[in-house]
A and B are shown apart, each in its own frame.
Chain A
Amino acid sequence: SQQGEEDPQALSIQEGENATMNCSYKTSINNLQWYRQNSGRGLVHLILIRSNEREKHSGRLRVTLDTSKKSSSLLITASRAADTASYFCATDELFGGAQKLVFGQGTRLTINP
């Protein structure tokens, strides 16, 4: 498969704790994005980090990118029940001249009240 890998596949934490998810990818990229999906519905864009950036913040979200290791992490601080969802990283990759958005397998995050 050409998809990236996410770690862990599932994560369950208590409300108020921090959640960290990791993503690895396989080829050179222009940028990496994180999306959230609630219960098999559409995806919601969370944050985009460019290949020349190392860290980016948006509210309670912090994303890091290490292009030498082809990996990224998403940190959600002070988690809330509403953060329960699946989280996917996505990279724009070139395969045979065609550009694709390649998603990881996702991390299923459960926030327990």
Chain B
Amino acid sequence: KAGVTQTPRYLIKTRGQQVTLSCSPISGHRSVSWYQQTPGQGLQFLFEYFSETQRNKGNFPGRFSGRQFSNSRSEMNVSTLELGDSALYLCASSLGGIGTEAFFGQGTRLTVV
């Protein structure tokens, strides 16, 4: 069974640009969650999608958005990038959603310069 796949693995963007990250969940998993990991703030929950609907959302500004497609693949978009958006972005898929065993991808390392 293939694991969670995130693309790209590494990304360098300039302040003010926008970026789209992709996540392919484990087959059969309908829940996809996104997290931001930084040395200062640790792991923080961005949002969760379940069956193409955003079901839960963390405390991030509207510049962070996402969507989920009918095949459960998910994308996360960050607009008007700031230096502070540099982080490891992780996505996780699960059968039951928040609070059930989650399977994480290897992450996308975003650097904003």
Q: Which residues of A contact B (CB under 8 A)?
A: 1, 3, 30-31, 33, 35, 40-45, 48, 88, 92, 98-106
> Once bound together, how far apart are the Cα atoms of A77 and B25, in whole Å?
33
Known contacts A31-B99, A42-B90, A92-B98: A101-B33 contact under CB 8 Å:
yes
> Once bound together, how far apart are the Cα atoms of A43 and B92, in whole Å?
9
Chain B: interface secondary structure? Answer: strand
Chain A: interface secondary structure? Answer: strand
> Once bound together, how far apart are the Cα atoms of A104 and B37, in whole Å?
12
> Once bound together, how far apart are the Cα atoms of A3 and B35, in whole Å?
13
Q: Which residues of B contact A (CB under 8 A)?
A: 4, 33, 35, 37, 41-45, 48, 55-58, 88, 90, 92, 97-107, 109
Q: Which chain A residues border B58 with CB–CB below 8 Å?
A: 98, 100
CB-CB nearest in chain B for A29: B99
Q: A30 and B42: CB pair below 8 A?
A: no
> Once bound together, how far apart are the Cα atoms of A88 and B102, in whole Å?
13
27 contacts between A and B (CB under 8 A): A40-B107, A41-B107, A42-B4, A42-B104, A42-B107, A43-B92, A43-B102, A44-B104, A45-B101, A45-B102, A48-B100, A48-B101, A92-B98, A92-B99, A98-B56, A99-B48, A99-B56, A99-B97, A99-B98, A100-B45, A100-B58, A101-B35, A102-B45, A103-B35, A103-B43, A105-B42, A106-B43
Q: Which chain A residues border B48 with CB–CB below 8 Å?
A: 99
Q: A100 and B90: CB pair below 8 A?
A: no
Q: Which chain A residues border B41 with CB–CB below 8 Å?
A: 1
Minimal beta-carbon separation of A37 from chain B (angstroms): 8
Which of B57, B99, B103 is in CB contact (< 8 Å) with A98? B57
Which of B92, B99, B100, B106 is in CB contact (< 8 Å) with A41? B106
Known contacts A42-B107, A100-B58, A101-B98: A106-B42 contact under CB 8 Å:
yes
CB-CB nearest in chain B for A33: B101
Q: Which chain B residues border A103 with CB–CB below 8 Å?
A: 35, 42-44
Minimal beta-carbon separation of A93 from chain B (angstroms): 9
